Structure 1
Amino acid sequence: MDREQEELQFLGFFGICKESIKIICTWSKIFTKLTLTLIIPLSIIFLANDGFSTFISSKIITNANTLDYIPPGTPTYNKISNLITSEWITFWIIKLVYFIFLLIFSLLSTSAIVYTIACIYTSKDVTFKNVLSVVPKVWKRLMVTFLWNFGIMFAYNIIWFFISLIIILIWLMFINPNSNELLGLNIVFPITFVIYLLGFAYINVIWQLACVISVLEDIYGVQAMMKSKDLIKGKMGISCLVFLVFTINLVGIEFLFEQIEVIDWRIGFVGKFGYGILCLVLLTLLFLFGLVVQTVIYFVCKSYHHENIDKSSLAHHLEGYLGEYVPLNSKNIQMEEFDV
Structure 2
Amino acid sequence: MLKKSQNNVAPIIITAGEPSGIGMDIVQALATQQWPIPIVICCDKNLLRTRIKKLNNQIILLDYSSAVEQPAQQIGQLYVVHVPLVKDVSIGKPDKDNAQYVINMLSLANDGCLSGQFSALVTGPVHKGIINDAGIHFSGHTEFFAQQSNTDMVVMMLATEGLRVALVTTHLPIRELADAITKPHLSQIITILQRELQMKYGIKKPRIYVCGLNPHAGESGHMGREEIEIIEPTLHELREDGIDLIGPLPADTLFQEKYLQDADVVLAMYHDQGLPVLKYKGFGKAINITLGLPYIRTSVDHGTALDIAGTGMANSNSLFCALNEAIRMVQIQQHN
Higher strand share: 2
Higher normalized contact order (CA 8 Å, seq sep 6+, divided by chain length): 1
